[in-house]
């Protein structure tokens, strides 16, 4: 198991370095380091998720008359060095994006990368520092499947109930790591959400768990 999944302060050499990646369709220079997820490149699963989201956003903009501000903030759950949060902030510059990770090193890198890219709409936080009553219009994640079912299910039980009405979570999972079984579990565990597979690419599935427009998030305390 890779240490970055659970360690708040990972050991090992920090050694920050710059890499070039394509985010929101443009090459960008970002900082990465050891002790975080995929420090040398944009991993395949995240790339699949970002491609799928780009297509979904284009469709949503064509079909929805709601303003960007009405759709609620975005949560990048397990942000690593920040590719999902940075892409969301670049794509939706007037929409608040929360980048959340237990790993302090990941949070520091994401904050640095947001600063380097001039993104003022990124909020970086540890899980316990996210306001309890905050609802999200979108939750985006390449979740840590290898932590095991119990830890993964606990993570999803904590965050999926925080979807706002009409909000949706998009999770990318490798087929060989249990994408089908996770989709079935989410559907059985969260009967208030509509669970579908919205993309399949290079051995990865993108699972969508959406809250209907007229449904509140009653699982959260008032």
Q: DSSP of 160-210, one letter per residue?
A: GGGEEEEEEEEEEEEGGGTHHHHHHHHHHH-TTSEEEEEEEETTEEEEEEE
**Segment 87-137, tens digit of pLDDT:** 999 999 999 999 999 999 999 999 999 999 999 999 999 999 999 999 999
Task: Quote the tokens at residue 78.
Answer: 């397990």
31 close to 81: Cβ distance less than 8 angstroms: yes
E strands of the chain, at which residues?
A: 17-23, 26-32, 74-77, 97-100, 122-125, 136-141, 163-174, 194-201, 204-210
Q: Give, in order, the Cα–Cα distances in Å from 203 to each of 60, 143, 163, 174, 199.
A: 25, 16, 27, 6, 11
Per-residue pLDDT of the chain (222 residues; tens, 9 = 90+): 344 445 555 556 668 899 999 999 999 999 999 889 999 999 999 999 999 998 876 544 433 434 444 579 999 999 999 999 999 999 999 999 999 999 999 999 999 999 999 999 999 999 999 999 999 999 999 999 888 899 999 999 999 999 999 999 999 999 999 999 999 999 999 999 999 999 999 899 999 999 987 655 433 322
Q: Alpha-carbon distance 163 to 139, whole Å?
A: 7
Spatial CA neighbour of 60 closest among 134, 136, 167: 167
Q: 213: burial class by Cβ within 10 Å (0-12, 13-18, 19+)?
A: exposed
83 close to 50: Cβ distance less than 8 angstroms: yes
- When the pLDDT of each residue in the chain is averaged and rounded to a whole number, the result is 87
Residue that is written with structure tokens 């999902």 in the block: 84
97 close to 8: Cβ distance less than 8 angstroms: no
pTM of the model: 0.88
**Right CATH for 3-210 from 3.40.50.150, 3.40.50.970, 3.40.140.10, 3.90.1300.10:** 3.40.50.150
131 close to 107: Cβ distance less than 8 angstroms: no
């Amino acid at each position: 198991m890779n240490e970055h999944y659970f360690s708040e302060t990972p050991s090992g050499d920090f050694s920050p370095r710059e890499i070039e990646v394509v985010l929101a369709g443009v090459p960008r220079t970002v900082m990465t380091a050891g002790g975080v997820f995929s420090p040398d490149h944009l991993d395949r699963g995240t790339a699949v998720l970002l491609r799928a989201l780009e297509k979904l956003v284009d469709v949503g903009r064509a079909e929805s008359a709601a303003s960007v501000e009405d759709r609620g903030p975005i949560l990048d759950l397990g942000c690593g060095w920040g590719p999902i949060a940075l892409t969301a902030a670049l794509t939706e510059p007037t929409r608040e994006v929360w980048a959340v990770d237990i790993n302090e090193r990941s949070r520091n890198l994401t904050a640095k990368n947001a600063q380097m890219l001039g993104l003022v709409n990124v909020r970086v936080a540890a899980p316990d520092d996210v306001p309890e009553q905050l609802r999200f219009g979108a939750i985006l994640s390449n979740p840590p499947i290898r932590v095991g079912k119990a830890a993964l299910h606990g993570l999803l039980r904590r965050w999926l109930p925080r979807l706002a009405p009409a909000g949706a979570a998009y999770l990318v999972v490798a087929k060989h790591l249990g994408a089908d079984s996770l989709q079935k579990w989410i559907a059985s565990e969260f009967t208030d959400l509509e669970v579908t597979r919205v993309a399949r690419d290079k051995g990865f599935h993108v699972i969508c768990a959406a809250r209907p427009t007229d449904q509140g998030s009653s699982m959260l305390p008032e």
